[in-house]
Amino acid sequence: MAVTRPRPRPVPWDEGFWERARAGTLAVQRCGECGAAQHYPRPVCVRCRSDLLRWETAGGAGTLHSFTVVRVPLNKAFADEAPILLADVELAEGVRVLARVLGREPADDDIGASVEVTMVPVEPDGVPLPHARLVDGART
């Protein structure tokens, strides 16, 4: 029996993120009251609790904050993809996002290196998710 991959189940406050993801765009929320950016999507601003949130396209430039290698995925649907490289990236917009790593595997001395985050479909008919690629030789 084939194991099916989990699919996003949008809720009212993150529908805008998934809509933009399907178009290949990485988006973050920005508060219309205090100007704070936030990711992951939430129904109110984490700084001032305002519900005046709007979607903003993220440029994709960021810094590698941390990374991990998932050798044994908890969900069997991802077992054939192991090891999975995950990066914790701080975007120029001031938010952090988890992204799969494209290209070479990061090393400890890559912490602080520049990365570019793009949205990549994880399967032919799948919703694009954040993926990060190290910008070789670039440090922030």
pTM: 0.89
Domain that holds residue 22: 11-57
- How many domains does the chain contain in total? 2
Task: Say if 6 falls within a structural domain.
Answer: no
Q: Does 89 lie in the same domain as 30?
A: no
Alpha helices, DSSP H, located in the chain: 15-22
Rounded CA separation 129/132 (Å):
10
Share of the chain above pLDDT 90, in %: 84
Rounded CA separation 48/12 (Å):
20
Alpha helices, DSSP H, located in 2-82: 15-22
Structural domain ending residue among the three candidates 57, 79, 95: 57
Q: What is the pLDDT of residue 5?
A: 83
CATH code of the domain in which 64 resides = 2.40.50.840
Q: What is the pLDDT of residue 136?
A: 75
* pLDDT, tens digit, 9 for 90 and up, residues 24-83: 999 999 999 999 999 999 999 999 999 999 999 999 999 999 999 999 999 999 999 999
Return the residue matching tokens 């805008």: 16
Task: Say if 2 falls within a structural domain.
Answer: no
Q: Does 125 lie in the same domain as 68?
A: yes
Taking the mean position of all CA atoms in its chain, how far away is CA 8?
13
Task: Say if 5 falls within a structural domain.
Answer: no
Rounded CA separation 46/13 (Å):
13
Q: Does 87 lie in the same domain as 53?
A: no
Q: Mean pLDDT over residues 70-98, rounded? A: 95
Q: Mean pLDDT over residues 89-101, rounded? A: 97
Q: Does 25 lie in the same domain as 73?
A: no
Q: Does 115 lie in the same domain as 69?
A: yes
